[in-house]
Amino acid sequence: MTFQLVQLIGTPPETLVEVLRQELNQESLVQSIETGTIQEALTVLPTVLPDLVVIFIDSIEENVSQFCQEVRSQLTEHRPIIVISSAQGNKDQRIEYFLSGADDYLTTDIEPEEFAVRLLVHLRRNVELLSNSQTRLPGLPLFARLIQRKINLDLPWALILIELNNFNVYTEVYGRIPSEQILKTLAALLKSLIMPPDIVGQIDTENFLVLSTPDKAERIAELMCKQFDELVSNFYSEKDQKRGYIISVVNEQISQRVPFVCLSMGIVTSENKLFKSHMSVFNSALDMKNVAKGKYGSNWVSERLKLTGHVVAEPERLKKILIVEEDAALAFLLKSTLEMQGYVIETCINNVEAKVSLEKDQADLLLIDPAIHGELKGWDLCKWIRETDPLKQMFIISMSSIHDREQALNAGADLYLPKPFEISSLFTWVDRFLKH
């Protein structure tokens, strides 16, 4: 997998040929292609998308300034660095080339090693500009060029889009230094599993990229999920390890049950021949990652066979909410308003009705007041849900008239929302859980 590509136009002087072939053809790092004329170069340039173009103008007769202008106008997104070289050149010529779009001018009378190094410096600077400023890992723009090049040349590829879930909440609860340790652990894990010629990239603090091949991508994702989940519990206190989640205090009244930090991955590959642009690749990977995000713990979903781990992903459907509320007026208000927002709603007044409903048809979220007919029956329903497959991944919001945050979250609620509350606040949390 070539990381950077150099296009040589024209014929280099004999003094440079050997050095350029050696320095510009490093396995997995830099490769070069040669085109004899500018017209030939213009034909292949939109396909190969080089990172650097070197024009030896002494060996060509075409208009170099016009070439620079055409590159600037045609390749606005994947514009290469343009270096012009000749045995000599006056000031006015150099200025004309620069104004047309050239980035550098090198005379061929300098030492061959220095000539090659100057080209490599341009490539290094190019990577730095298109990389994450903190980690120096290649960023989204560089991955876009690499993927588009592979699509154009019909080469095999696989993209893994990785998100670090619940990381912001972990940082809020535990602080910056422990959160940095999680990032270092993830970086070490990526380094151990991703070997050249595969490439690791980073979009931001919580989102990473891996460019690999179709035969390896799912195995990489599977190992990352397994190893990360084995390591991550070590970053939590003994109390949080025992209960299996942390408590995020939203404000003095509202608290949220937050699972451990985990990974969600979406995989797309060149086996889907419908991809014509890098944008469609990224969008598909994002869709796959969001499906994986709906699963508990670290998980991956592959576009290749619509797999999540080894399970077929569920088709898209309307989200269903089950409301367990004995106050008929409040239940009606919640039902009618949420239905207008596109949710499927069912209401129950006790645990028995709720269990019958859930056994018949799963819900995506439960809204419940644990105080049912004067007794705390709602806690039993929450605990039953958390112990029952496949219900245990359902979101639970406790609309509690019993102001006991610890009891609500320990029973299995994802969010503790004490009564009375603003209806708009509840709906915001419903959307946050179901439209994430």
pLDDT of residue 111: 92
In the predicted structure, residue 174 carries a pLDDT above the cut 80? yes
Cross-strand partners of 268: 159
CA distance 384 to 378: 10
In the predicted structure, residue 314 carries a pLDDT above the cut 50? no
Q: Residue range 239-267: average pLDDT?
A: 86
Q: Token digits for 335?
A: 């039902």
Q: Sheet containing 415-418: give its strands across.
A: 246-249, 255-258, 415-418, 395-400, 365-368, 320-324, 344-348
**First-to-last C-alpha distance (Å) of the chain:** 34
Backbone angles phi, psi at 261, to 5 degrees: -60, 135
Q: What is the mean pLDDT of the chain?
A: 87
pLDDT of residue 203: 92
pLDDT of residue 375: 66
Instruction: Name the CATH architecture for the domain at 320-434.
Output: 3-Layer(aba) Sandwich (3.40)
Q: Do domains 154-312 and 320-434 have the same CATH topology?
A: no
Q: Which has the higher per-residue pLDDT, 100 or 372?
A: 100
pLDDT of residue 114: 93
Please check whether the domain covering 154-312 is classified as CATH 3.30.70.270. yes
Give percent above pLDDT 70 in the chain: 94
In the predicted structure, residue 186 carries a pLDDT above the cut 50? yes
CA distance 99 to 62: 17
DSSP of 356-424, one letter per residue? HHHHHS--SEEEE-S-BTTB-THHHHHHHHHTSTTGGGSEEEEEESS--HHHHHHTT-SEEEESS--HH
Q: Is the dihedral of CA 326, 332, 337, 340 positive or negative?
A: positive
Q: Residue range 228-237: average pLDDT?
A: 89
Q: Residue range 327-351: average pLDDT?
A: 87
CB atoms under 10 Å from CB of 374, counted, come to 7
DSSP of 28-92, one letter per residue? TTEEEEEESSHHHHHHHHHHH--SEEEEEGGG--S-HHHHHHHHHHH-SSSPPEEEEEES---HH
> In 49-76, which positions are buried (b, 16+ CB within 10 angstroms) versus exposed (e)?
bbbbbbbbbeebebebbebbebbeeeee
CA-wise closest residue to 296 among 259, 266, 321? 259
pLDDT of residue 2: 61
Q: Residue range 227-245: average pLDDT?
A: 88
CA distance 96 to 334: 69
CA distance 325 to 411: 17
Predicted confidence band of residue 167 (pLDDT cuts 50, 70, 90): very high
Cross-strand partners of 158: 212, 269
pTM for this prediction = 0.75
Long-range residue pairs from 172-178, CB within 8 A, at least 24 positions apart, any chain = 172/248, 173/246, 173/247, 173/248, 174/235, 174/236, 178/235
CA distance 41 to 52: 12
Read off the pLDDT of residues 277-294 as tens digits, 9 standing for 90 and up.
999 999 999 999 998 987
Q: Which has the higher per-residue pLDDT, 46 or 337?
A: 46
Read off the pLDDT of residues 7-42 as tens digits, 9 standing for 90 and up.
999 999 988 988 888 888 876 688 889 999 999 999
pLDDT of residue 315: 46
In the predicted structure, residue 190 carries a pLDDT above the cut 70? yes
CA distance 32 to 230: 43
Residue 426 to residues 10, 138, 338, 346, 368: CA-CA distances in angstroms? 67, 40, 10, 17, 12
**Extents of the domains making up the chain:** 4-129, 154-312, 320-434
What's the DSSP call for residue 213? Answer: -
Residue 16 to residues 13, 62, 86, 339: CA-CA distances in angstroms? 6, 22, 12, 72
CA-wise closest residue to 302 among 433, 195, 212? 212
CATH class (in words) of the domain with range 4-129: alpha beta
Q: Residue range 65-94: average pLDDT?
A: 89
pLDDT of residue 376: 66
Read off the pLDDT of residues 83-94 as tens digits, 9 standing for 90 and up.
999 987 788 888
Predicted confidence band of residue 330 (pLDDT cuts 50, 70, 90): confident
pLDDT of residue 132: 77
pLDDT of residue 313: 45
